Amino acid sequence: MNWKELLNETLENLNKWLSDENKGDPSEIISIRQDIHEPPMLLVAGEFNAGKSTFINALLGEKVLTSDIIPATAVVTKLTYGEKEEVIGHFGDGTTKHFNHMWLEELTAERAGKWESMRHKLSYIELKLPGEILKGLTIVDSPGLNSGYDHHTRSTIEFMKRADEVVWLFNYQNLGTQSELDQLRKIKEIGLLPYGVVNRIDLHDDEEESIEEFLEGSLGRVSGLVRGLIGISAIEALEGKLEKDSTKLEWSNWEAIESIISKVENDKDQKTIRLFNRLFDAMQVISQRFTSIDKELSSAIGSKHKLKSFINGKLSHLITEIDDLSKEYQQTKRLQSHFNKLSRLRSSFKAFEVWMIEYEEINGETNSLILWKNDVVPLRESYIGEVDHYNRSLEMSYENHEDLLREWDEFKVPVLFSKWGLKSKLKENETYHNTVKELEEEREKLSQTREALQNKLQTMYALLAQEKELFYKERIPSVFQKITEWNHSYLNTINQFKEIHDPILEDSQKFIADLNEYIRIVSPLFTAQHGELSTVETYQKCFYLFRENQLIPHFYPEPEGMLDFKNFRKLGEKENTLNKSDPKESFNRIKIDKLKKPMALKINLEQYHRYISTKRTTAIVIVSILSIFAFVFTYEGEPTEEVSNEEVAVYASDSTSDYEDDIVDESDVSNNDEPLMEESWTQDQVEEFYEDMMNDLDDRLYRGASISDSWFSEGGAADYRSYYDEFGYGSLETYDVESVDYVADKAELSAIETYELNGEINTYNVQYVIAPTLNTLEITGVQYNLIDTQEQEYSVSEVSLTQFIRDFRSDYLSALNQTDFTYISSYLIADSSASQEIEDYIDSIYGKGYQFDFLQDNIQAVEQVERNSYHILTSEEFNYDKGNGDRIYYQKSKKYKVRVIGDELYAIEMITNLETNKEKIIERTIDYVDHNQVSLWMTSFYGRFIEALNEYGFDYIEADYDPNSEEYSETESYVEYVQGRDIITENQDVRVVNVREHSDTELAIDIYTEDRFYYPEGDGDDKKIEATYIVSISNEGEIKIRDLVDLNILEEIEFIWREEE
């Protein structure tokens, strides 16, 4: 594709872009496009009555256009080549209409009538003619600039911009009027220097002055505004051509005009120059619009570089970070909620199993879960199966036990059974005792399995407690820290860019998208290789203007990035409803029901058999004696007392009743010398009962519940409640059995018990009276004495103590940056000097915008000074930003006095500053920018610098200079000097050769430029220059010029751009 086709395509797209988006007037683009493939355009201009129409008729060799004493040409008439004659009207709205040739005069001449309104709607008339001259030249006849009709003048000026060359026609009788001079200056501003043609020299009187002398004398009036003066007579030339009169042609000096026409037709470069000059004007209008918007946005945004650096760098990191942090926060919050369920969890295995499944889903596999799945669950399933078998056997033994007792109640009256019946009961008793023995052996094995299961559970509880503790000590502080740091970064960002409101961002997005589209449209015209255009000066001007616009988006974030930034600002601070401190709530343990014991049959049938045998022998002897006495008395006739058979029976019954009195309480029939309880309940069993009761008490104290009354008789419960009131809000520390003594049917157990309450350890000597009930024991009496009280010495580890200080420092950073004392109030003893001093300091910096950055916290030493009191020596380093650009590095040595308020629980009582060192921070700001960004900035700046010299003044580039530098005032003076002398500077080339480090805050930029200088005297020079700029880089990455050094002119070539008058 050649450059004309590419230019045509570019202009077509540019026209569509301007029209669709309503970004400007596309008329100039349309006219350039229309002229691309047409021959050179010669515009004939001049004031009214200068003879323009006659001049054009002479060019054509025929009388085509109207000549009149009124402004004849009312509408610009463009004459082009055509196979046949056509009259085409081009209207202002872009439409066209063909007219009959007979109406040409009415359309082009300024006359009243029905065509007047039509003329005012026309942009121009195109007249197609088959004239030979029009094959290589387009001729434009324009209304006079002094015709008095505004639409005439507007049309003429529009076609002046389109023309490749201009012939200015002077009236011999009125040459160089002030209005002509004004119009010629306007043409020069457009970039054209007309050929000066003086018409009607046929009226000149050579006797007074030769025509040459007249023209030479008149040239001084229009010097610099035309390319000399040529005298002609258009009417004689026309007549000479029409009449084929060579003498008239010669007298008309028409040969000079034909020479000009030949030059115009053959100078193809001039058309190219004019096309790109017009394109430059059109692009400059668009560029000025973009530049104006850029200035407004730059003023509103402040530092575009800072915004771009943030969006392209930190913003994506912050967005990714908050996405990840939100997920981590939700998981952490869910896990915290799940841990909180532990204290409310039922003691059943099923409830715990459901909890563990969800725990794994939230937290993944942990040590407690591994133990749970691999050891606890399999062992528990095996244990449950064995316990089910044992309980079924035990239930059968209970039924057998009840049957034996019931039969015994029916069988125990001695007169109702025989010796053989008793032996049968002895056999049943022996069988039952064997069953109980087997069950006790099975229970012992199950007890071992139960103990193993409890040990596994205890290990799992410990692991779970560790995981919970680690969760509160590490994970929650980590999430807290991340949220605090993110919120700090977020608030810093919001504060940093608080002046950039959403409408500004939206305008910036639209502006950059608009500019990028424009660059996309025109880019092919300037990126393709067109060797023939490389020497066309006006093309190069368009190219540099394009490059200048192309650089603007580099200083803005991408539109997508600005949208991300706008959405980022709507996020707000990340909420944090996590409970930072571990509530230290215990969780309910899985309750493993105790194994029921087999019921011993407490009837000594063998003893009873011996006892009954003795009683029966005695009864028989007594009955026999009484029978003898009765017989003697009966036969002797003198009985002293009569004993009846009923009396014998009563005696026997009384004897039996004596035994029944002995067994009514289900006591064994045994020797009266042996303690009855001791034989039924061993010391180990009594101690086991006590230990079970104390374990239950420990668990209930841990959960904040009261001891169960099931361990006591009514009187025993009343005694224990008095004792319980002494320690009921504390915790059980230790208990030891000292002795177990039996007294008749009771046991007296002596124990030493210690409880912690409000930081004190109380030791009690307690006497328990324990008596049997049906199948178990109960406490029937309690006596206690307080024998010792000591202050609690809590467990302390250096690891937890140093971690406490680190946690405090982490939250102290948040408290300072958020100016919120509540972040660290829980770390301090209320109303202590440390608490009061820190709260006062945080209040004093509220609203001042101070920012702190803790760098390092080193624990130097941990010293115990007294019971539950420690000194921690630290070395702390941090940066302090005062909000005014000053940053200070601090190194402090401190001594913390820390009180121990529980096992590995601490609070700060006092903080003492031992030593403070500080120094101002000088940051290496050159790392905030990359060399490519600096190069782009420098290239853009130099373009602005040239514009400041030529048009806008120093104010245009003031923001690019450090106001405190000498270069600021020197450049300001230089710009004033250049503008004061009307020097025009044109940059031909600018390149950044090198960017290098000058200091921590400064860069040296070596550049090469080629500049052309036009001096008002008419001379100029081309200079090739090497220079080095020293620029400073601010903390926000802003670039400011501080100095210009090593400026060397490598080459200087003088030229003359305008001949002296």
- The mean pLDDT of 436-447, rounded to a whole number, is 87
Q: What is the pTM of this model?
A: 0.51
> Who has greater pLDDT, 803 or 951?
803
Rounded Cα distance between 664 and 658, Å, is 10
**What are the residue ranges of helices labelled H in 210-365?**
211-219, 234-243, 246-252, 254-266, 268-301, 304-309, 316-341, 349-363
CA-to-CA distance for 65 and 108, rounded, in angstroms? 9
Predicted confidence at residue 782, as pLDDT, reads 95
Return the SS3 of 195.
strand
CA 633/CA 584 separation, integer angstroms: 94
Nearest Cα to Cα of residue 282 among 182, 162, 186, 363 = 162
Q: What mean pLDDT is reported for the chain?
A: 83
The pLDDT-based confidence of 945 (bands split at 50, 70, 90) is very high
Residues 6+ apart with CB under 8 A from 450: 383, 592, 595
In this prediction, residue 650 carries a pLDDT of 38
Helix, strand or coil for residue 623? helix
Q: How far is residue 123's CA from residue 140's CA, in Å, rounded to a whole number?
A: 13
Contact residues for 860 (Cβ-Cβ < 8 A; gap 6+): 873, 874, 875, 893
CB pairs under 8 A, 24+ apart, for 359-363?
362/331, 362/334, 362/335, 362/338, 363/335, 363/467
Q: How far apart are alpha carbons 899 and 51 in whole angstroms?
A: 111
- Let me know: does 45 contact 76? Beta carbons within 8 Å: no
Strands 869-881, 851-866: pairing is antiparallel
3-state secondary structure of 820: coil
* Model confidence at 751: pLDDT above 90: yes
Equal CATH topology for 41-266 and 683-791: no
Among the ranges given (164-168, 337-341, 688-692, 755-759), the one the predictor scored with the smallest mean pLDDT: 755-759
Name the band, by pLDDT with cuts 50, 70 and 90, for residue 724.
confident
Q: Does domain 683-791 have CATH number 3.40.50.300?
A: no
Residue closest to 367 by CA, chosen among 283, 466, 263: 466
**Helices 559-569, 502-527: crossing angle, 10 deg rounding:** 170
Order the strands of the 138-141 sheet from edge to edge: 96-99, 86-91, 122-129, 77-81, 138-141, 41-46, 165-171, 195-199, 229-231
pLDDT for 980: 86
Question: Could you tell me which CATH class the domain 798-921 is placed in?
Answer: alpha beta
Please determine, for residue 764, whether its predicted confidence score (pLDDT) is greater than 50: yes
Domain residue ranges of the chain, discontinuous segments joined by +: 41-266, 334-410+424-476, 683-791, 798-921, 925-1056
Higher pLDDT, 753 or 310: 753
Mean pLDDT, residues 713-720 taken together:
90
Strand ranges (E), 143-253: 165-171, 195-199, 229-231
Q: What's the rounded mean pLDDT across residues 46-58?
A: 87
Closest CA to 678 of 608, 780, 767, 748: 748
pLDDT at 97 over 80: yes
**Cα–Cα dist 241/278, whole Å:** 36
b/e sequence 721-752, b meaning 16+ C-beta within 10 Å: eebeeebeebebbebebeebebeeebbbbebe
200 neighbors 235 (Cβ within 8 angstroms): yes
Find the mean pLDDT for residues 785-790.
90
DSSP conformation class of 924: -
| CATH class of segment(s) 925-1056 | alpha beta
Question: pLDDT value at position 74?
Answer: 67
Bridge-partner residues for 986, per DSSP? 1012
Q: How confident is the model at residue 818 (pLDDT cuts 50, 70, 90)?
A: confident
Confidence check: pLDDT of 114 > 80: no
Burial of 82 by CB count in 10 Å (0-12 exposed, 13-18 middle, 19+ buried)? middle
Q: Which of 374, 370, 384, 372 is nearest to 449 (CA)?
A: 384
Count other C-beta atoms under 10 Å from residue 793's C-beta: 11
Looking at the predicted structure, is the pLDDT value of residue 194 above 90?
yes
What pairs with residue 108 in β-bridges? none
What local confidence, expressed as pLDDT, does residue 1053 receive?
93
Helix (H) or strand (E) holding 627: helix 605-636
DSSP category for residue 847: T
Provide the phi-psi class of 200: left if phi over 0, else alpha when psi is between -120 and 50, else beta: left
Q: Is the pLDDT of residue 525 over 90?
A: no
Q: Which of 355, 362, 192, 151 is nearest to 277 (CA)?
A: 192
Rounded to whole angstroms, the Cα distance separating 397 from 394 reads 5
Q: How confident is the model at residue 639 (pLDDT cuts 50, 70, 90)?
A: very low
Contact predicate 400/432, CB 8 Å: yes
Q: What are the residues facing 747 on neighbouring strands?
A: 742, 770
Rg of the chain, C-alpha, whole Å:
58
pLDDT of residue 369: 93
User: Which one, of 650, 631, 651, lies nearest residue 642 by Cα?
Assistant: 631
Give bridge partners of residue 871 from the DSSP assignment. Answer: 863, 897
Cβ 829 vs Cβ 835: under 8 Å: yes
pLDDT at 1050: 92
Per the model's pLDDT, the better-predicted residue between 994 and 414 turns out to be: 994
List Cα–Cα distances, 806 to 159, 579, 688, 905, in angstroms.
Answer: 81, 18, 47, 14
State the pLDDT confidence band at 337, using cuts at 50, 70 and 90: confident
Decide: residue 319, CB within 10 A, 0-12 exposed, 13-18 middle, 19+ buried.
Answer: middle
Residue 1027 CA to residue 1007 CA, distance in Å, equals 6
How large is the average pLDDT for residues 928-947? 90
pLDDT of residue 884: 64
Secondary structure class of 861 (helix, strand, coil)? strand
pLDDT digits (tens, 9 = 90+) for 482-522: 888 888 888 888 888 888 888 888 898 899 999 999 999 99
Per the listing, tokens 């057998």 go with 400
- The DSSP call for residue 571 is S
User: At residue 1039, does pLDDT exceed 90?
Assistant: yes
Would you state the pLDDT for residue 668? Answer: 41
State residue 781's pLDDT score.
Answer: 94
Q: What whole-number distance in Å separates Cα of residue 442 and Cα of residue 570?
A: 70
What SS3 string covers 38-86?
Answer: CCCEEEEEECCCCCHHHHHHHHHCCCCCCCCCCCCCCCCEEEEECCCCE
CA 294/CA 292 separation, integer angstroms: 5
Tell which wins on pLDDT, 676 or 428: 428
Class of residue 636 by CB neighbours under 10 A (exposed 0-12, middle 13-18, buried 19+): exposed
Q: Is residue 615 pLDDT above 60, yes or no?
A: no
Please name the residue ranges forming H helices in 412-475: 419-470
From CA 154, how far away is CA 124, in angstroms rounded? 11
Using 50, 70 and 90 to split pLDDT, how confident is the model at 672? very low
* Distance from C-alpha of 906 to C-alpha of 909, rounded to nearest angstrom: 10
pLDDT, mean of residues 47-52: 83
Say which CATH class 41-266 falls into.
Answer: alpha beta
Give the CA distances from residue 810 to residues 855, 858, 892, in Å, rounded to whole numbers and listed in that order: 11, 13, 16
Which of 636-650, 846-860, 995-1009 is predicted with the least confidence, judged by mean pLDDT?
636-650
Q: Any idea what DSSP says for residue 372?
A: I
270-318: per-residue pLDDT in tens?
A: 888 888 888 998 898 888 888 888 888 888 887 777 788 788 878 888 8
Side-chain half-sphere exposure of 873, counting CA atoms within 13 A? 8
Give pLDDT, residue 493.
85
**Residue 445 reports pLDDT greater than 50:** yes
User: H or E element: which one contains 124?
Assistant: strand 122-129
Asked whether the predicted pLDDT for residue 1052 surpasses 90, the reply is yes
476: closest CA among 352, 623, 576?
Answer: 576
Ranges 19-28, 95-104, 132-141, 390-399: which has the least confidence: 19-28
